[in-house]
Structure 1
Amino acid sequence: MQDAVVIIPTYNEIENIEAIIKAVFALDKAYDILVVDDNSPDKTAEKVSLLQQEYKNRLFLEVRQEKLGLGTAYIHGFKWSLERHYDFIFEMDADFSHNPKDLIRLYETCQKGGADVSIGSRYVKGVNVVNWPLGRIILSYGASIYVKLITGMRIQDATAGFVCYKRKVLEAINLDSIKFIGYAFQIEMKFKAHLMHFKIVEVPVIFIDRIKGKSKLSSSIISEAIFGVITMKIKSIFNKER
């Protein structure tokens, strides 16, 4: 078993899953991978199951019965990873919007650089997004400004989904108290770590929009993020956000 595991949540990622798994396993630094699949109709889980024969004891699969949301997939993965004593636990998308090579920089920022949480940040050095329409960039960048204003966090990319957590951070957070499932989930996890005074460091990355498959972004996810941030801040004022 490695000291680091990459959690990849999937729903209909058959076009990307084999390539992303092989890209991670090709890195100089060794990582295990956990795929959390929400019973994808396109048989993503079946593809992962076949690949497990090639990557025994390094590639793991958890299949849930239905589509339950990104946040709950990661919570499932976090609990699974903590039970298996990994020291560094990563979030990463399946669609190559996150460059697997950047896993090493995120790892080193925590393992050598003293960070408790490292974030693959699109906005810490300008706007590093490729192939997004202008409206999507404005929405995402504007959301990060909004989150900073409401929460007081100095994180430039609060909605980022490319993250490394040290084990002690996830052990300290009450994972059962996490309420949100979309963009707001990413914000909530960072806010919890911020409230507990963990060291959060942003690592500049280039985000490239998916080429294959479909985005899971929806109006309900955007709405959750907008109103969820306010709710989180209010609860934190009354010491309930723990």
Structure 2
Amino acid sequence: MNTSLVEILSDSLVIIPTYNEIENIESIIRVTLMQAPHFDVLIVDDNSPDGTALRVRELQKEFPDRLFLTQRDKKAGLGTAYIHGFLWGLRSEKKYAFFFEMDADFSHNPTDLSRLYKECKENNADVAIGSRYVKGVNVVNWPLRRVLLSYCASIYVKLITGMRVQDPTAGFICYRKEVLEGIDFDKIKFVGYAFQIEMKYKAYIKKYHLSEVSIVFTDRVRGKSKMNASIIKEAIFGVLAMRIRHLLGEE
């Protein structure tokens, strides 16, 4: 009875966007739900043809009060998936105080959720970022070319935006509810991975406290990466446009 009460009163929602993650979805859900404190999980699935959503529905029978699923008609971008999840959580009767972004492929280790949670809950961060670069370069199984691309992108973003964040492209994040409530999602421009940069920048210009927690990022073992040339182009040119819009008072 006491355990059930704790689960019902969970103050944290982990949002996991999925598209064809059948190889990872059950494991990532089970490991996440094992963590302490208790985290609820919302899967935002973009109509995966491989049966990802079907597997989630089966698991919901096991975790009816902690595992949730929302499906979209088609693949529509990482950014819009997270916004969809944020809005779902903000409107939930559970009154979540903390919202997490996490990948489905174990590149983000669910055991680090508690560290991000603590950074916001106990150390008063408004945004806690799971950082690959705050203490050296903590990336496993990436080819050198991709490590250099990611690291140089971080330097580029810092130079353009002025943010003192070592890993501005990171996608393992905890937001306080108040941060999300303070951001106008209708004005978010990016739909791909650059969404991660834009969200941090929106929080930064609104004077929220951004803090980094060192993590080890491990490239996916199962499934296919969603990275492509258009995502890289969006990040390079979009970040510059984002900064110019802000300087012109359009943000």
TM-score (norm 1): 0.99
1:124 counterpart = 2:139: no
SS in 2 for 1:101: helix
In the aligned structure 1, how far is the partner of 2:146 from the partner of 2:222? 18
In the aligned structure 1, how far is the partner of 2:75 from the partner of 2:33? 27
In the aligned structure 2, how far is the partner of 1:212 from the partner of 1:29? 27
Partner in structure 1 of residue 154 of structure 2 = 144
Partner in structure 1 of residue 210 of structure 2 = 200
In the aligned structure 1, how far is the partner of 2:222 from the partner of 2:16? 16
In the aligned structure 1, how far is the partner of 2:25 from the partner of 2:61? 15
In the aligned structure 2, how far is the partner of 1:132 from the partner of 1:108? 29
Partner in structure 1 of residue 64 of structure 2 = 56
* Pick aligned residue for 1:211 from 221, 226, 249: 221
1:86-117 C-alpha deviation (Å, 9 max, x unpaired): 10000000000000000000000000001000
* Pick aligned residue for 1:94 from 83, 104, 107: 104
Offset at 1:176?
A: 1.4
* Pick aligned residue for 1:186 from 192, 196, 200: 196
Partner in structure 2 of residue 16 of structure 1 = 24
**For residue 82 of structure 1, what is the amino acid of its counterpart?**
L
1:144-169 C-alpha deviation (Å, 9 max, x unpaired): 00000000001010110000000000
**For residue 37 of structure 1, what is the amino acid of its counterpart?**
D
Q: Which moved more, 1:231-240 or 1:33-42?
A: 231-240
Offset at 1:238?
A: 1.7
Partner in structure 1 of residue 117 of structure 2 = 107
1:157 counterpart = 2:167: yes
In the aligned structure 2, how far is the partner of 1:65 from the partner of 1:12? 14
Q: Runs of at least 4 residues of structure 1 off by over 3 A?
A: none
Query: What is the root-mean-square deviation of aligned Cα atoms in Å?
Result: 0.6
1:26 counterpart = 2:34: yes
SS in 1 for 2:175: strand
* Pick aligned residue for 1:134 from 144, 153, 156: 144
**For residue 107 of structure 1, what is the amino acid of its counterpart?**
Y
Partner in structure 1 of residue 14 of structure 2 = 6
Offset at 1:28?
A: 2.3
For structure 1, list consecutive stretches of 5 or more residues without a partner in the other structure. Answer: none
SS in 2 for 1:40: coil
Offset at 1:181?
A: 1.4
Task: Give the total of aligned pairs.
Answer: 241
Offset at 1:239?
A: 1.9
* Pick aligned residue for 1:232 from 219, 242, 245: 242
**For residue 51 of structure 2, what is the amino acid of its counterpart?**
K
**For residue 52 of structure 1, what is the amino acid of its counterpart?**
Q
